[in-house]
Structures are given as C-alpha cells and as structure tokens.
Structure 1
Amino acid sequence: MMKDSGSNDCLQSMLELPCGAILKNRLVKSAMSDSLADGEGNPTEARVRLYERWAEGGVAVSFVGEVQGDPRFPEKPGNLVLGAHSNQLMLHSLTSRAMIKGAHLWAQLGHAGALAHLPISQPKGPSALNLDGLQCAAMSTDEVQALPAMYARTALHAKTVGFSGVHIHAGPDN
C-alpha cells in the first residue's frame, strides 16, 4: 500500500488561528469531560500527568473539557473549577507541565445547565426541562444575563494560571 506523504505534511504544518494563536501542527486533543479533578474542582496529579503525556506525544493543543466557572452546576464531580477556592499551585502545575514542547492548553468553559450532576447540584438552564433523564429548572433573566460575566471571570482566571486559551462551550445544554 502506498503512503500519501501529502497528508502527513498537512498534519505537521503550522496553523495560525484567527485569534492569533499559532499551533505547531494540526494535532488536537479535543475537549472531553475527563472527571479527573479531586471532587472540589482542583486538578489531581493524574490529570496533570495525562495532559503532560499528550504534550510529550506531540499535540499542538489539548482542551480540558467542562471547566466550570460556577461550582454550583458541575457536569460531573470531577470537573475542573476555576474560582476563588481553586488550588492555584495545582492549576499552575497543570498548565506548565501540559504546555511543554510548544503545546497549548485551552480550557473549555461551560455551564452544565440541564446536564449538571443531580447528586451535587440543582440543575438550571435557560428553559425548564422535564424529559426522560434530563430535568432542570429555568434560570431567571438575571441569571442568564450574568453568564457572560461569569465566562469572562473564568477566562481571566484561566489566563492567570497559565492556560494559553479558552473555548466557550455553548451547546444546547447551556
């Protein structure tokens, strides 16, 4: 079987994003809810090492999925939370070790909405839902209007602890 050398060249080529970020190649670890926080929203050594290994493997950017700015609505107990009670030292460890070899680390900022974990949350979304396996109360107008400021605070916190970018998760559950 003949190998297509052109496809490898494309994967290894740099890419400048419209935001100005320069990716060293086209390899991306997509956002996933890995549930590797300590139950209080802080990174664990297991999470730090996992993202470090992806960087060692050559990815251009890894996305940490479901990073919460409001600890009241986690999608899972293991979500990373960026807030006043966050362990800044562990967050700095995560970003510094995951951004070796020219890799970026971006936080996918989210509000779990109807997908907030029921045992530790009272899910709220833009509209009330009562579907099989998906229930939540409606957010007030004030709560909806407060979301952009929450995302902005969380993005600033991400920058402060060393993330090189953020991705806003704005799916239908938000």
Structure 2
Amino acid sequence: MPGSRSQQDQKPTATIEVGHDLSRASLGELQQELQVRIKDLQSRREALVRELQEVDEKLLAHTGGPGGEEAHRAMQSGYRRVQQRIQNEQCLAEALVEVLSAETLSVTAAAAAVQAHGYQTTSPNFRTIVNQTLIAHPDRFERVRRGHYTATGRPD
C-alpha cells in the first residue's frame, strides 16, 4: 500500500492515558509508555531549541550584533553576556557630600546633581538609593525639611 508504514517504522503511541490508574498496568506497558513519553519530550525539546536558535539569530541580525563574534557564540551556547558593573571613583555618600556641601537640595535634585558630577549608575530606582543613603548617614547629612537635605559641616 503506498504511503503506509511497516509495523517497525510506525511511531509508538501512548498506550496508557494520562490520569488512569497505573497500578494495574504491567511492567512492560509501563516501560513502553515511559519510552514513548521520553521520546515525545525529547523531540519537543529539540524543536524548542531550534526555535530559540532562530530567534537568537534574528535578534543578532536586527541589533547589528553588539559584541560581535563573542556575542554570537554566547547566544549559540545559551549563555547571556553579563553587564560589567560600573566602578565609581568614590562611593555615593562621598559624592553626595560634595554636591550637598554647597546647597540644600531635594532628593530628586541631589540624585540628578550627583549624576551630573560624574557618578555613574544603571539603577532604574537611583532616586530611592540616594534617599536611603541620605537617611543611613545622619553624621554626614542633615534633613532641613521634608525631602530636602544638606551636608553637615564636617565631612568624614
């Protein structure tokens, strides 16, 4: 018969339905069922890996390939490139002392002023970090009124 497969070529199908009582199945049936499910999961995994590689290639093509060949190899191996942590010359508290020694600023203005003076950050909530730093160092910063701070007379 054209188009028909021999008994050996046919893909084994699940014989035990999910949710049925497996305690009544024979050991042979359980082993066969396990093999069928393993093969199904492996083929599904391979298809997903192929699809992910295609997405990675499209991303690389659209982004112009930042990182060049290194980024391409990293994407193929499944590893993501880790962003290098920024190293500032001085800690945030010291940078805030410099900015606030001349004037009283709000937390938002202090955060902007510190960055304008060269303090680098990638934090999406940098204003909150500045606020926490101001509160954590009462020996360095004085609260003038709600949300406004200045540096104390003696820097550490």
Q: Which has the higher contact order (CA 8 A, sep 6+)?
A: 1
Under a length normalisation based on structure 2, what TM-score does the superposition of the two structures give?
Answer: 0.24
Question: Which one has a larger percent strand, Structure 1 or Structure 2?
Answer: 1
Q: Which has the larger radius of gyration?
A: 2
Give the TM-score normalised by the residue count of structure 1. Answer: 0.23
